[in-house]
Amino acid sequence: MKPISLKIKGLNSFIEEQTIDFKKLTDKGFFGIFGPTGSGKSTILDGITLALYGEVSRKSSNFINTNCNSVNVLYQFQISGTKIKKYIVEREFKRDKSGNIRSKSAKILDVTCEAVEVLEEGAKNVTAKCKEIIGLELDDFTRTVVLPQGKFSDFLKLEGKDRRNMLERLFNLQKYGDNLSNKLISKIKGERQKYNILQGELKGYEDIDNEDLKVKEERLESALKNKENIEKELIVIEKEYNENSVIWNLQEELKKSEHIFKCLKLKEEENNIKETKILKGESYLKIKPYMDARHETLKQYNIENKKLNIIQKDTENIKVEKEKLEAILKKAIDKKENELPSLKIKKERIDEAMEEAKNIKNLKNEAKYLDEELQEKEKLIKNINNNIKELEEDIIILNNEREAKEKGIGKLKVSDENRTKINEGVIISNDYKSLTSQKKNLLLEINILEENIKVNKNNRYELKTKIDELNIKLNDLKEKQQELMEKNITNPKELLKFQEEISYYKGKWSRYDLLIKELEENNVLLKDSTTELNFKTAERDNLENSVKTLRDYINKIEIENIAQCLREKLFKGCPCPVCGSIDHSIDNLQSINLSKNDTSKESLKENEEILKEFNERIIILKNNIDSYKKSIEQQYFKIEELGEDFKKVSIEELEDRFELLRIQFDKYDKEKNTIENNIKELSEDINKKDIEYSKIDTIVTQNTERLEKLKIQLNKLEKQINDVKINLIKLKEELKIENFQERSKEISENDKQITRLENNLKELRQDISKKLLDKEKLNKDVSTLNENLKEKKVILQEKNKRIVEKENYIINIIGNIKDLILAKEEVSKLILEIESNYIKAEREKKSIDDKYNKSNEEFVGVRTNVASLIERGKNDRKNLDKALIEENFSCIEEANEYKISRENLDIIKREFKDYNNELSKIIGAIENLKNKIGKNRLTEEQWQEIKILKEEKNKELKMIEEVVITLKSETNNMKEKLMHLKELLDNKKQLEYKMSLLDDLDKLFKGKKFVEFVAYHQLKYVSLEASKRLKEITNGNYGLEVDDNGKFIIRDYKNGGFQRDTSTLSGGETFLVSLSLALALSTQIQLKGTAPLELFFLDEGFGTLDDELLDIVMCSLEKIHNEKLSVGIISHVESIKNRVPVKLILTPAQSGLGGSKVKIERS
């Protein structure tokens, strides 16, 4: 990927749109990005990653500038392959209402041809397309484009765990290292936890079998039948309860209604008074409008008459003031028309003269400034001419020095053929030494391994002996456990069954005792009620005969009394209304004393009341007797249901047997738990020892294999040593050099001298080029200054001429007035005085006219109102008198006695109406309730008895339902547990198989051996590429290799190819090796991509390097760029700017002046 251009707007410190032209920036292959901290150097890379991946490289989520609401990026790049392809990526991001950043739009275009093609739109689709084109993820891209050199210098020297972790990160091997190990550990832990939970669950199912389930189902069936019988009885009881409930509720309602009727009768007199108030109140409210109208008319008359007198006096005062103001206005108009025009003309001329005076002052200042500027420019031209002369002399001296250094370089150079052969000799010599050293190390390692194998075999044998001893102890414990289980005669199921049997018989005895007690109570109550009923029945019969005798006697007396009254009123000759006879004989009539009738009636009434009470009591007693009989029958039935078997069982004997069984079981359980704990501890100890044995066995096997490999390696090494020795002898004879290292050192010293001379030569050329440019620039400056000097002189002459002309013009228009400001103030004051006096007089005249006209109009209106109110008062009196007569009031005072508001009258009317309505309703309700009740009557004792019977039956049903629910729940639970037990056993088998596989994997990945194996092979490829780069940068002086342990070794060809440890490198050498390693790793990462990256940035932290090391670094960077690779450095160090041919300068954001700015400069 080769960048073409980048446009940024609103990103981090960039506010306005800034364009970076990468074509110009990378045309020399080597460029730099410079700017102070915070100027936005890293934001350029952020812009590229934001365009390609929709994210910034530093993973920031708040990248929109605080002064902007959106970010726009446009990135154009090309892919160089067999065919060059060009693309443009555009993205826009905006803040939403909550302040979060959201992608607004995104698209990628193919602009290779003239016809632009839209490849994808939408944030996700564009990101996916960019990944497809480049072939790299964001992390890989940033690691490839920005090379973090400081980390690679650490990488060279790291050892052990730190080095392994860094390798894992660089080659992205976390998925094979910590990630995989952590997943595996987590998985093993999870599966073991599952296994432990499963074991615990299985312990909870030890006492469950199908026999228990069968017993529970039989008990459930029995309880369901019992429940069905109770439900049938309850239906009959509830029917009776519902019928009596209606009668009882009607009786209670009748009592309440009769009480309300009595309360209403007490308020009857109060209601009659309210009726009178309503009638008189209505009459008062009819005449009230006439009274209010008359009162209002009198009130308005008094107000208007008083107002009329005040207005008449005000009108006369306003007329006098009006005449005075008319005279003042006339005088002001005269001054405005005669004096004001001439004063305004004078003021305009003064204003014009003041403006010209101001222009004269400005012209004089400009002329003075121009004169000073001309003198400065003449001095500057003189100085520049002197500088040009000095530069010409310096250029001649520098050219002579350059020619001398070029001749010196030619003498020191060595041919490439000779250099290659000498380097080859150095390598072969070092290889011979290295191989000899390796042989010695191999022999030492073989001895150590043989000793290690011997020690581990002894340890393995000892462990095996201990494991066998522990297994014997474990088998003994298991035999004891088996014996204990066989001896145990107590079954927990039998214990549970015994406990249920005791509960069952206890329940039966308790129910039996309760029923016997209730039966005895009901028999006593039945006997008492029967005795009372017989006594009450006999008394009632006697009382009924007495009542009948009294009633017959009273009827006879009443008939005789009526007949006597009728006969006394009959006259002779008048027909009888009964028989029609006209003869009326009253001789045989018996005289009747009516006072006796009164005593007989009272006796009859008393006897009837007593008879009524007797009848009510007899009904209650009969109902009670029937109820007691039913209860006794039910209790006998329930006692029969209980059966006779429980009476044969002794509860005390059962409880004693149960306690004995419980003690035996507790003792067995305690012994069983002790043995199980000992078995568990021994098993765990054996498992640990087995694991330790497996580890030692694995070590022995691995060491044995390693020993065989080392012996094979030793044979190969001895063969290599012989081959290298032969080649070294041949090369020495061919080149006639005995010591290749010394000759290589000599060439290396010459190379250093050549490098120094070339650097000096390069600096000389740059100085000459710079001085020539400075000279050319100074010549241009002199030419520009001379032209500018001529123009300024012409302008000065023109300004002096204009000053004289303007001074003459001022004298012509206003004369020789010295103080123009004072003159203007005096004229303005006179104008303002005349104008303000006129405006004031005119305003006051208009105001008094309006006031006068308004006062006149008001006077006429008020006078008319007074006359109208006098007439209206007479009419109001007539209407009031007429209304009083119509409503039967003699005078106003009488009407006021019944004064009442409409609201209060309405309240009284509502109360009167509500009372009558309520009385009618309650009479109707009482009659209706009596009809509904009829002859059906229910006493409170009867009602309470029915309620109690229903409640008892409901309790009985509830108890049996609870038993059914409990049994159902227990039965279902047992079924579920039996099914779950089967599932648990299947799961246990699967888990045991899975755990054996995971243990095998754990052994394989222990110690990150797999990661080390993959990283070592990756590192070999990277070191080959890094060595190639290092040779290019150092002119073949250094190479980079990896030993068998994956450690970096430096091959120093200046010292005969001698192998050096990385810790012996100087600062400059470390940088060069680190740079080569970084470039090689970048290439390795790019292998994952589909397109080569033709650009990278280097951020080494140049501020920490001294001048000599900085010089080495810059020379190295100048060598590594080529047509396919542009190198950019990011720095804020000023001293290295001149070493970079093309620079991108960033100016930081300034308050009020916008965001960061970019510009390209060339050296």
> What is the per-residue pLDDT across 967-989, written as a single tens digit (0 to 9) for each?
788 788 877 877 877 777 788 77
Residue 147's DSSP bridge partners are 1098
**Rounded average pLDDT over 337-358:** 75
Q: Quick check: is 449 in a domain? A: no
Q: Residue 419: pLDDT above 50?
A: yes
The per-residue pLDDT for 6 is 93
* Whether residue 833 has pLDDT greater than 90: no
What is the mean predicted confidence (pLDDT) over 206-223?
72
Mean per-residue pLDDT, 800-823:
72
**Bridge partner list, 90:** 74, 107
State what percent of residues in the chain have pLDDT above 90: 4
Nearest 5°: phi and psi at 90? Answer: -120, 135
Residues 128 and 64 in one domain: yes
Pick from 353-357, 518-522, 833-837: least confident: 353-357
Cα distances (angstroms) measured from residue 584 to each of 181, 225, 558, 560, 590: 141, 88, 21, 16, 15
Residue 890 sits in the same domain as residue 909:
no
State what percent of residues in the chain have pLDDT above 70. Answer: 83
Query: Phi and psi for 437 in degrees, rounded to 5?
Result: -65, -40
**pLDDT for the residue numbered 946:** 78
Whole-number Å distance between alpha carbons of 240 and 229: 18
Q: Can you give the pLDDT at residue 596?
A: 44
Helix (H) / strand (E) containing 146: strand 146-147
Q: Using alpha carbons, select from 781, 882, 892, 921 the residue that is nearest to residue 388.
A: 781
Between helix 1067-1086 and helix 1107-1120 the angle, nearest 10°, is 30
In this prediction, residue 597 carries a pLDDT of 43
Is there a domain that residue 242 lies in?
yes
Using DSSP, state whether 214 is helix, strand or coil. helix
The domain spanning residue 128 has which CATH number?
3.40.50.300
The pLDDT of 769-780, averaged and rounded, is: 75
Note whether 248 and 291 are same-domain residues. Answer: no
What is the DSSP secondary structure assignment for residue 413, as one 8-state letter?
A: -
Is residue 811 pLDDT above 90, yes or no?
no
Is residue 145 exposed (0-12), middle (13-18) or buried (19+ Cβ within 10 Å)? buried
**Does 69 map to a domain?**
yes
- Look at residue 891 and tell me if it is in a domain: yes
Domain hosting residue 928, numbered range: 211-268+905-970
| SS3 state at 572 | coil
Distance between CA 365 and CA 344 in Å, rounded? Answer: 33
Lowest mean pLDDT among 85-89, 314-318, 470-474: 314-318
Number of domains making up the chain? 3
Say if residue 909 is in the same domain as residue 882: no
CB 393 within 8 A of CB 700: no
Nearest to 234 by CA among 1115, 977, 955: 955
User: What pLDDT, on the 0 to 100 scale, is given for residue 168?
Assistant: 63
Q: How many CB atoms lie within 10 A of CB 830?
A: 14
Using CA atoms, how far residue 415 sits from 76, 228, 406, 429, 1095, in Å, is: 45, 119, 17, 22, 34
- The CB-based long-range contact list for 318-322 (8 Å cut-off, 24+ gap) reads 318/848, 318/851, 318/852, 318/855, 319/852, 321/848, 322/848, 322/849, 322/852
Q: What is the CA radius of gyration of the chain?
A: 64
pLDDT given at position 146: 66
- The whole-number pLDDT of residue 609 equals 81
Residue 81 lies in a domain: yes
CB-CB neighbours of 1151 under 10 Å: 5
Q: How many Å from the N-terminal Cα to the C-terminal Cα in the chain?
A: 27
CA 225 → CA 169, 231, 510, 955, 961, distances in Å? 76, 10, 21, 17, 11
Q: What's residue 191's pLDDT?
A: 78
Residues 932 and 890 in one domain: no
pLDDT tier at 570 (50, 70, 90 boundaries)? Answer: low
The one-letter amino acid at 752: K
> What three-state secondary structure class fits 115?
coil
Which string of b and e fits 978-990 if b means at least 16 CB within 10 Å? eeebeebeeebee
Residue 121: φ, ψ to 5°: -135, 155
Whether 653 is covered by a domain: the verdict is no
- Eight-class DSSP state of 470: H
One domain for residues 910 and 962: yes
- To the nearest 10°, report the CA torsion of 926, 927, 933, 936: 110
Inside any domain, residue 264: yes
Q: Is residue 749 part of a domain?
A: no
Tell me, yes or no, whether 259 and 281 share the same domain: no
Dihedral angle sign, alpha carbons of residues 849, 851, 854, 856: negative
Using CA atoms, how far apart are residues 1070 and 1066, in angstroms rounded to an integer?
Answer: 6
Asked if residue 12 and residue 94 are part of one domain, the reply reads yes
pLDDT band of residue 855 (cuts 50, 70, 90) is: confident
Residue 176 in this model has a pLDDT that exceeds 60: yes
- Better-scored residue on pLDDT, 263 or 402: 263
Lowest mean pLDDT among 207-221, 894-908, 1141-1155: 207-221
The SS3 of residue 13 is: coil
Q: Verify that 2 and 127 share a domain, yes or no.
A: yes
Give the chain's mean pLDDT: 77
Note whether 45 and 124 are same-domain residues.
yes
Residues 879, 913, single domain; the answer is no
User: Residues 630-642: what's their mean pLDDT?
Assistant: 80
Q: Find the range with the poorest average confidence among 265-269, 499-503, 851-855.
A: 499-503
Residue 920: count of CB within 10 angstroms of its CB: 10
Band (pLDDT 50/70/90 cuts) for residue 73 is very high
Q: Has residue 107 got a pLDDT over 90?
A: yes
703-714 average pLDDT score: 82
* Tokens describing residue 631: 């209860």
Higher pLDDT, 1101 or 879: 879
Specify the amino acid at residue 798.
Answer: E
By mean pLDDT, which of 233-247, 504-518, 997-1011 is the weakest? 997-1011
Mean pLDDT along residues 1091-1118: 66
Q: Note the pTM of the prediction, 2 decimals.
A: 0.36
**Integer Cα distance of 617 and 533 in angstroms:** 8
**Between 118 and 230, the higher pLDDT residue:** 118
Tens digit of each residue's pLDDT (9 = 90 or more) over 571-616: 555 555 555 555 655 555 454 444 444 567 777 778 778 877 877 7
In this structure, the answer to whether residues 118 and 246 fall within a common structural domain is: no
Nearest to 150 by CA among 1099, 1108, 1138, 1149: 1099
* Secondary structure of residue 1116 in the 3-state scheme: helix
